[in-house]
Structures are given as C-alpha cells and as structure tokens.
Structure 1
Amino acid sequence: MTGKLSRLLRTTAFTALLVLGATWQSPATARTAEHGYAALPKQQQQLIDDLEQRTFEWFWHSADPKTGLVPDSAPGHSFSSIAAVGFGLTAYGVGVERGYITRAQAIERTLATLRFFSNAPQNDSEDDAAGYHGFYYHFLDMRTGKRAMRSVELSSVDTTLLLGGVLFAASYYDRDTPQEKEIRQLADAIYRDVDWTWMQPRKPLISMGWTPGGRFIPADWKGYDEGMLVYILALGSPTHPVGSEAWQAWLSTNHLTWGAFQGQTFLNFAPLFGHQYTEVWVDFRGIRDAWSREHHLDYFENSRRAVYSQRSYAIANPGHWTGYGKNVWGLTASNGPGDFVEKSGTGEHQFNGYTARGAGLDYISDDGTIAPTAAGGSIAFAPEIVIPALQEMKQRYGQWIYNEYGFVDAFNPSFHIKTDLRTGKLVPGLGWVDTLQLGIDQGPIVLMIENWRSDFVWKVMKKNPYVRKGLERAGFAGGWLGTGTPAQ
C-alpha cells in the first residue's frame, strides 16, 4: 500500500515562446520557462489571468469566513477538507499579490482560520474532536469543526498539506502589527504541536494515519509520492522531529519506479498530484538530495518529465478514449462518472467515480476521465505544453467545463451511459461532465500558476526556517539552500 492508495480511500466526490505543438526542452531551457508570461500571446495571457482569478475566487467564496474551513467540494453541501484549507491559506496570499483582495481581508480570513485550528478540540474521542497529538482529521464538519464521520482518519498527509498553508502564513505575514504577529504566533504553535514521532508506530517510517481506539493505519508513507512533504515537515520540527533515517527509509523503494515511460526516464508516480503537492510549496530547482544527485536531476526536472510522459501517453491513447491528444490530456486523482461497466462492439469499458487516475511505471488507471488540474497544476513544470492544453480544453469544451470558478473537476467524453449519476451530468454530444470543483484540485492550479508567473509561493517558503531545516536534514544542498554540509 503506497501513497497513491490514500487517494483511493477518499470517500468524497473530492520560457521559450509557448506555441501549439511545442517539443521537449533541455533542463537549461526549462529553468527560464517560469518567467515566460510576458512572452505569451495576449489571448493566452488572458486565459491565465482569468483562470487564476476564478480559481482563487473558489477558495474565497466557498470558505466559512468565521472558521476558515474550506469545503472538500463546492458548490453544494460538503464537509471540510483540511488539505483544502492549506491550499486556501496560501491562495489568500496570491489574492493579495494579484489585487483580488486586500491584505487586511487576507489577514482577517487567515486569523479566523488559525484561531479555529488553535482552539479546536484535540483528544482521542470518536466524535468530539478535530484532531489528536497535533494532527487533524482528514475531513471536518463544516458546522461543528469536528470529525466529519467515523470513517474518517486522523491524516498525516492531509495535516501536512494544511501545515503547508499554515507555514506559508507564518512567513508571508511578516509585518510588525498586532494582527500579523498573532498570525505568526498561532502558526508557529500549530506546527510545533504536531507530534510526528507519535505517528511512527513502525519507525523510521511515518504512518498514513490513525483512528480512535489506538488503531494506526497499517500502511506507511514509503516511496516517491505526496508523502515527500510529510517527511520534510517532520524532519524540520523543532519539537517532535523524526530521525534523519526516515528520509532514506521513505526513498528505499525508489528503484522500483525509476525507469522509462512514454519516452521519459524519471522517478514515476502515476497521478500527477503526487508531483504537484509538495512542489506547490517547495522549489526543488537546483537543490538535490543524495538520490537526485545520484540520478543527475532534481525533483523539479523529474516532475517535468512526468508531465511530458502523460502528454505522450494521451497522444498514444492505448485505451482509445475519445478526445485524447497532444492538447487534451491529464490524469490525476479526481471525480469521475461513477462505477459503471459499458459493453460495446469494441469491448468492455470500466468507469470509476473518485479515484487516483494516472499513467506510469507504477500503474495505469485510465477510464477516459480528464482532470484539468493535472495539466493546470503542472504549469510551472512545463508551461509550453500545459498552456496549449488549457486553451484547447477551454475552447473545445468550455461551455460545459468552465464556469465562474474555472474548470470543473473533471470530464469524460467517452462516457455516454444514460443512468443515475452520483455526481456530474451527462451532456448530449459530449459525455460526462462534473458540476463540482474540489479544493485539493483547485489549489495546485492557482498556486502553480503564480509560482510559474512570479515564484511567489516558493519565495515565501524559502524564508521559512522549518522548511529549510527539513530539507537540509533530508540531505538537500546546492541551489538556493547553498552548498554546505547537510544538517543531521
């Protein structure tokens, strides 16, 4: 059981000039691509401007202004996803920098959020807690702020994604005012309270989670996946740090997924969220740990290759799904039409609801469902192929898949079964189209757009001493970290 399976366990519906047909760029060229907004044609600039603001507005309008809780999905009734809260806390800073909201508005919302989590009950009860040992439940009730349901785990990775936003707030709000001082104090306390060593029933690895009654999930974060940020923050803790051997334990199975797929040689993780989540907050360009030094690339370049491999997979289209091509691609954890089997003259097709779709050496899960966040959240890695993809999907399907909050979570032009759907709708002549946006898919879009445009989130997080310490204890050096001996 690996990190990708944690997404399967979810119960919720959830530069060079950039031209069409762009080809592979060398790593040296890739390093300049993130500043290519000014080189874009006006139409593409307008697309990025519009998508970034609409996606930001999803967080601003869907969050509860009193608690800061962000729903797992919207519109409609949903419980809160603590990971979505982390993306939201970071998005508010983007909103300030882009002029969508004022700094005072962002401070008010951020303070409400941090005060809620600081005061939320922490105990081992089934129903009367938001968390335990500094960790928080994956999903919280939007009204009470407590565990949303008994099937929900105390989640190490979702707490980590929440902490990404908490630590962003601690470093972004750096002015000498009472409100910004309180933000820094609350954020620091929330991070310090997380007892990472308690979440290690099988040291040196970190468990995926825990449920009341003392039951740790019988799986640990091991192998390249979104668990990368879990270990960085656990290593950087000033109060409950894990041993430096934890990083090597997490890396120990990398040899199983290092290899060639669709013309690219890289460390595979099939769904693109696994490449995006940590890199929303951490700029890996030019910094390397022992593993990446041995393989002569950094994790940013690794993610770039993963994006290209997904595009090549869509061009090859081994499943013969409708619409796939050089500018319509993207598999990641997302909503889907539901669990159905369709039989036709060409064979039997299995469709799924929410699942961790992806294509790589580790596995292939593909039912024709495209998630725009797979491309959109990868814009910092490969803008020259991502922007044409976003443009093509909007031009071809925008009437149904693009609304006031940007792209809907997913769509499937191959699904035409007339049946009752748990989520989304059937559009004649197109196929299945979702009617929701998911916070954990919206987050990478808005934050990676801004990282590509200005390095904004990355710049803020480079100032955070805990992130720096975690990276150094993991053995990272070079680049913006400097070339000193890694910390122990």
Structure 2
Amino acid sequence: MNMKQTFYACSILGLMWICSAYVVLKQPQIAFPDRLARPSDEALLDSVERASFRYFWQGAEPRSGMARERIHVDGIYPQHDADVIAVGGSGFGIMAILAGMHRGYITHEEGVKRLQQMVDFLKTADRFHGAWPHWLYPNGKVKPFSPKDDGGDIVETAYLVQGLLCARQYLMQGHSAAQSLAREIDTLWRTVEWNWYQHGQQVLYWHWSPDHGWAMNFPIHGYNECLIAYVLAASSPTHAIPASAYHQGWAEDGKIVAPSRYFGYELQLHHQGAPMGGPLFWAHYSYLGLNPHGLKDEYADYWKENLDQTMINYLWCVKNPLHYKGYGPDNWGLTASYSVDGYAAHAPGNETDLGVISPTAAVSSIVYTPKESLQAIRYWLTNPEMKHKLWGPYGFYDAFSETANWYPKRYLAIDQGPQVVMIENYRSGLLWRLFMSCPEVQQGLKKLGFQFTALK
C-alpha cells in the first residue's frame, strides 16, 4: 500500500479544504495565567483543555449539537460551507464534553442535555448498514466527502462510537434521564453492521455507498490510525467480525511487523507509507479511549510503539535536518493538519516534513511525552509573540510555519478534540477508564489476543 492510499482522508481533504469556509463566531474571553508569573504545569494544561473544549461547546453546530468540521476566524475564504458536521470529530467532541463535565466547565445537566441533542440527531441521520458517513448536514443528510464517498465510512463511525461508548458508561450510573440516554446510545452501537464492511473478505473496507457500492475499494491494512475500527468491529455484540479479519486483514498475516530504528527508538510495526513513523494522529485517534498502557498483542506493545513514534517525531524536529526556521525542543510536532498549500499529513522525512508545526501533535502527545509536550505548550503560551500568533478563541490554531511566515487562524475538529481528551487522560485517565470499562470491548480485545489494562 502506498502513501496515497494510507493517507486517503488527508489527500482528499487537501483538495477540498483549499476552498473551505470559515465561521466567524464571537470570541469568548479565555482565562489564562498571568504571564508575568510562571504558570504551573497544571494551569497551562487546564488553559489548553478548557479553551479546546469550547470548540465543541460554544463552537458546535447549533441544530444538531455536533462538531463543525472546521471553524475559520481569519476571514480568508468566502463563507459557503459553515454547516458541515464532522462525524469522527463529533466522537472526539462527545469525549470532550465528558471531560468538560468532569472538570466543571459545564454542569452535569448541561452536558446531558447536549449529549441528548446529539444522540437525537444521530438516530435520524443518514446511515448505511448502520455506519454514518464522513460528513453530514444539519438536516441529517450525507454530504459527500468525494464523488464516490457518499455512503458509510466505517473508520469515522469507529471514532464516533468510541465517544458514544464512553458516554454510555458515564451516563449509566446517573439519574433516570441519563440512564435512558445511555440505553439509546447502546441501541445505536448495536445497530452498526461492522461485518457488512468486510465485503465478504477477511478484512474491513473503509467505505460503502448505496450508489457506488464498493467502488472506493479501500481495504484497511495496518499500521495507521484505524486500529480502533478493528477493535470495535470485533467487540460488537450484534455484528462482530471474526478474529481472522484482524489477523489476515489488519495485520496482513504478520506482515505488519517490520522493525526499524531511528534516533535510538524502535518502531515495531510497518507504518504505511511513513518509514520514520506516520503523522502523530496515528498515536492519538485510536487511543483516545483505548488505553495504550499495557496494550499488547502478538504484533506489538502499543504503549512502546506510540511512545517511540512520538520521540522519533520530536527528535526529528530537534535535529531539524531540513533546517526549517524555529524547529527545536520547545517548538515541535508533525501531524496531519492544514498546510501552507492546502492540507498535508506531516511526518518525519524529507518528503513529508514541509516545515509546518501542528500544535495538536505535541499537545495530544502529553500522555507519552509529558516533559517535551509541556515544554512546547509553555513556550507557545508564555512567549508573547508566539501566543499572539497561535492562540485564539478555541485554543491553539491548527498549524503554522515560521519558515513561510504563515499563521492561519483556523481550527479543525479532528485536531482540537484529541487535545482535550489526551490532556484529560493525562490528568485523570477519565476517557481511558470509561472506554475500557465496556464489557464488550474487553471481550473483543480478548478475542483478538490482546493483553490490556482496565483502569479502576
């Protein structure tokens, strides 16, 4: 599989987001420690978590309560696409709302009301053999992601379900209204036809369309950001895939194992199209709920894989072999994000490092590299010049390049969400604890041969 296939979503976005819209919203006042004093690590993390949370609370699409695909506050593009809902990003947003409830950013009642709004929307939105599409309109109708991608997207559905299951576990011990909502979520989870997306094969296929069938023809092989899709597909109480689909499809009969070593750190797995490790969202998206601590199977130790991938990414920026301006121990992080020319999956390597730093890469890696991530957060927020360029109403803007003198004031749901969730996991383990408490997930992991840790 080549890089173009592995980064399918990224490449399509690169074409479509060049002409994307912006939403100008009233900028809330962001509480931030006095920069004349030295803010504590906890104060820094709370500032970033609280501000990024607001993307999913104040910045949500109002009719559905779901996450907008993007919010631009720079006024560069004409507004024509302000109502696009991100399905995967909304899964991250559900987890962010749970974190906001836990932190007291909103009340429990406010959170339950918003979650009910989202679930009511999802119950009537377009689904395709139980799977939601990549994008939706506020009326619940599919917005095609590309000409033939106008149906179910099993990966975006997995990101959404990861968040929904966290919400189910959070709500099931609450009052009667919360318990009722938990049951509605359980019904949504049970009606996703994961095994349909095998297309009769021992592998999951990313897309299916009622108009174009399997024309996208994109079997999901590892290693990349899609592990959570296989875990949930194996865990389904109603439409499960067999373990053979994981081992023959995702792991390609063991070919996924391909050790390589950079800067003293070893990758155990073959990162598709990215020999020095893929963009850092590969270490984030599947592990927002799936706890990587102690997570092992016959192919890898996933805590080690994610830690080593993150350190390779960090050291690539520190060593800066391409001599980009500003790179260093307090200014690092390569992942898929907006780029100077559209959208790109930034990663270590001469062809994949374009001189663009994405704050979400370092921030969302806080669970793996707390020292290195906090060093970047502290630099960005306590250096007045950097904070002025990088910080806005919903936290850090999506990406920047000092080399290109490029500082767009834009946000993406899929980049803001992991910041909230991973900071909360670092602070309390909340989302890991909720997701790993699902009995179906525990059974599914055992079925696939995983060792794992369920936090108390």
Helix, strand or coil at the partner of 1:414: coil
- Deviation (angstroms), 1:262: 3.0
Contact 1:301 1:381 in 2 (8 A): no
Matched, 1:158 2:156: yes
Matched, 1:325 2:328: yes
Change (3 A) 1:457 1:200: same
Match of 1:145 among 122, 140, 147: 140
- Whole-Å separation in 2 of the counterparts to 1:402 and 1:332: 18
**Number of corresponding residues:** 410
Matched, 1:384 2:371: yes
Residue 420 of structure 1: aligned partner: none
Map 1:118-129; keep pairs closer than 5 Å.
Answer: 118-120=123-125
Residue 277 of structure 1: aligned partner: 285
Map 1:190-209; keep pairs closer than 5 Å.
Answer: 190-201=188-199, 203-209=201-207
Residue 168 of structure 1: aligned partner: 166
Match of 1:287 among 291, 295, 305: 295
- Deviation (angstroms), 1:68: 2.0
Contact 1:65 1:112 in 2 (8 A): no
Change (3 A) 1:61 1:176: closer
- Whole-Å separation in 2 of the counterparts to 1:303 and 1:241: 27
Residue 131 of structure 2: aligned partner: 135
Matched, 1:373 2:372: no
Change (3 A) 1:208 1:164: same
Residue 26 of structure 2: aligned partner: none
- Deviation (angstroms), 1:44: 2.6
Map 1:61-460; keep pairs closer than 5 Å.
Answer: 61-75=58-72, 77-120=82-125, 130-141=126-137, 143-149=138-144, 151=146, 152-153=149-150, 154-175=152-173, 177-201=175-199, 203-216=201-214, 217-249=216-248, 250-252=250-252, 254-255=255-256, 257-266=258-267, 267=269, 268=271, 269-292=277-300, 298-338=301-341, 353-359=342-348, 364-394=351-381, 395=383, 397-415=386-404, 431-460=405-434
Q: Deviations over 1:369-418 (max 9, x none)?
A: 11000101110111011110122233251111111211000001111xxx
Contact 1:65 1:109 in 2 (8 A): no
Contact 1:287 1:480 in 2 (8 A): no
- Deviation (angstroms), 1:12: 3.2
Matched, 1:58 2:55: yes
Contact 2:257 2:299 in 1 (8 A): no
- Deviation (angstroms), 1:364: 4.7
Unaligned runs of 5+ in 1: 15-40, 121-129, 293-297, 339-352, 416-430, 483-488
Change (3 A) 1:464 1:150: closer
Q: Quick check: 249-258 or 71-80, which moved more?
A: 249-258
Contact 1:64 1:70 in 2 (8 A): yes
- Whole-Å separation in 2 of the counterparts to 1:167 and 1:104: 19
Contact 1:69 1:85 in 2 (8 A): yes
- Deviation (angstroms), 1:45: 2.4
Q: Deviations over 1:280-327 (max 9, x none)?
A: 1111212321212xxxxx211211111110111112212221111122
One-letter identity of the residue aligned with 2:436: K
Helix, strand or coil at the partner of 1:230: helix
- Whole-Å separation in 2 of the counterparts to 1:210 and 1:271: 26
Matched, 1:475 2:452: no
One-letter identity of the residue aligned with 1:100: Y
- Whole-Å separation in 2 of the counterparts to 1:239 and 1:3: 29
Helix, strand or coil at the partner of 2:155: helix
Q: Quick check: 105-114 or 153-162, which moved more?
A: 153-162
- Deviation (angstroms), 1:256: 6.2
- Whole-Å separation in 1 of the counterparts to 2:144 and 2:450: 39
Percent of paired sites with the same residue? 30
Contact 1:287 1:478 in 2 (8 A): yes
Change (3 A) 1:159 1:97: same
Which TM-score applies when normalising by structure 2?
A: 0.85
- Deviation (angstroms), 1:202: 5.5
- Deviation (angstroms), 1:221: 1.0
Which TM-score applies when normalising by structure 1?
A: 0.80
- Deviation (angstroms), 1:175: 2.9
One-letter identity of the residue aligned with 2:8: L
- Deviation (angstroms), 1:60: 0.4
- Deviation (angstroms), 1:8: 2.1
- Deviation (angstroms), 1:225: 1.3
- Whole-Å separation in 2 of the counterparts to 1:480 and 1:52: 24
